[in-house]
A and B are shown apart, each in its own frame.
Chain A
Amino acid sequence: NAGVTQTPKFQVLKTGQSMTLQCAQDMNHEYMSWYRQDPGMGLRLIHYSVGAGITDQGEVPNGYNVSRSTTEDFPLRLLSAAPSQTSVYFCASSDSRATYEQYFGPGTRLTVT
């Protein structure tokens, strides 16, 4: 089992550029989520999905899009990057049949200049 994988590990974007952060899991988890982690702020939920074809907004969804076409993949799209989106992004998946313990990917460090 690879668990939760995220690519890329590091990315630098210019303001206004778009990109997609990839997330995949091989544990057949229905629940997947994206967080951003900023200094002193903990992790904040951006978007989440309770299954293929179903997504919903978390605390800080503005500027981000998601889709869930398969159980395994949950990409996060930045439509027009802004310096305020400089952060570390974590993807996580949970087993919705149990406690919802979240398995986290290694994170993507994004810098927007």
Chain B
Amino acid sequence: AQKITQTQPGMFVQEKEAVTLDCTYDTSDPSYGLFWYKQPSSGEMIFLIYQGSYDQQNATEGRYSLNFQKARKSANLVISASQLGDSAMYFCAMREGEYTGNQFYFGTGTSLTVIP
């Protein structure tokens, strides 16, 4: 089974609108971390936001928020007030195995295009 599933290969959003990028995960580990990264066309990987499995509140970082629904095993990224510079690939990732070495798993990504 896939550890991280991103079901939206491509998304479009109007500038200044909000957009939600979906991510579901699969783990039986009680302690894990969830991450979102942005990869612009230049290729670098940019960390956006982190959510720990024990965190009670949804993580927020500026215009980014993570909608964490633990029972559903989902960790959707919400980008508010989209900007043209938000056009990029977005990857959801999970760290599991805190006591067995910590492995990371990435989803296949969502390509976001912001339309002026």
Are A and B co-members of a single complex? Answer: yes
Interface set of A (CB-CB < 8 Å, partner B): 31, 33, 35, 40-45, 48, 50, 56, 58-59, 88, 90, 92, 96, 99-104, 106-107
* Interface flags, B1-44, vs A, CB<8A=1, else 0: 00010100000000000000000000000000101000000011
Dominant SS among interface residues on chain B: strand
Of the candidates B43, B102, B103, B106, the one whose C-beta lies within 8 Å of that of A42 is B106
Knowing A42-B106, A42-B109, A58-B103, say if A106 contacts B44 (CB, 8 Å): yes
Chain A nearest CB, measured from B61 CB (Å) = 11
- B106 near A101 with CB under 8 A, answer no
Q: Which residues does chain B contribute within 8 Å of A40, judged by CB atoms?
A: 108
**Would you give the 0/1 interface string for B58-76, flagging 1 where the beta carbon is closer than 8 Å to chain A?**
0000000000000000000
Instruction: Give B46's nearest chain A residue, CB to CB.
Output: A104
Question: What class of interface size applies to chain B in its complex with A?
Answer: 20 to 34
Question: In the bound complex, what is the Cα–Cα distance between A47 and B33 (angstroms)?
Answer: 19
Residues of A within 8 A of B91 (CB): 42-43
Q: Which of A41, A44, A92, A99 has the most CB of B within 10 A?
A: A99
